[in-house]
Amino acid sequence: MVIVQQPPGGTAYWYDSDDDDARHLLEALRVFRRSDEAMRRRAGREMAMNLTDLRALRHVIAAERRGDSVTPRDLAEDLGISTASTTKVLDRLTGSGHLERLPHPRDRRSVVVVATPDAHAEVRARLAGAHARMLAAARAVPEHCRPAVRDFLLAMAASVDTPDDAVAEAVVGDDGAPAAGR
């Protein structure tokens, strides 16, 4: 059973207190996110890499599975870091034997980044158990409920991907000045 802690006064901090089922659903999502983040930190420690390096490796492997190639610029955009920082990430991951830089097949001025066979093997060895357990949990959801669960998760992703102008204005203000000092 998940217990949602209440602020003083007995009302929910973010949500109406009259919709316990929805609040418990959101709390379960938070619990999953914390566990997912912890799993990624553990994997990074076990593979002797930081979270940015792990995200970079994951991006390259996912692109390869889709049949796409990844350039350093693509990686910089996905990671939200500068090209200079991306170069450092790539230097670490090529130095550790996880990635290789190869000539771009169509652009002689560019390179593509690929995961090494050893990187694929290490990722499978370290994460296969977690992915098997996640698949088992997904399969345990009754088939008739799966579309609703999928739609909920996609709606949650969209809700956090969408900037909230009201929040931005409350923090910074529409004139760019910090709102706290007004």
- Taking the CA atoms of residue 33, residue 159, residue 68 and residue 55 in that order, the dihedral angle to the nearest 10 degrees is -30
142: helix, coil or strand? coil
Is residue 34 in some structural domain? yes
Nearest to 70 by CA among 112, 110, 111: 112
Q: What is the CATH number of the domain that holds 80?
A: 1.10.10.10
**pLDDT band at 182; cut points 50, 70, 90:** very low
Tokens at residue 90, please?
Answer: 């790539």
Q: Which domain holds residue 134?
A: 20-141
Q: Give the model confidence (pLDDT) of 5-58 as tens digits.
A: 555 555 556 666 677 888 889 999 999 999 999 999 999 899 999 999 999 999
Is residue 173 in some structural domain? no
Is residue 12 in some structural domain? no
pTM over 0.75: no
Per the structure, how many domains does the chain have?
1
Is residue 159 in some structural domain? no
Is residue 175 in some structural domain? no
Is residue 100 in some structural domain? yes
What is d(CA 53, CA 115) in angstroms, rounded to the nearest whole number?
A: 12
Find the helix or strand (DSSP H, E) in which 111 lies: strand 111-115
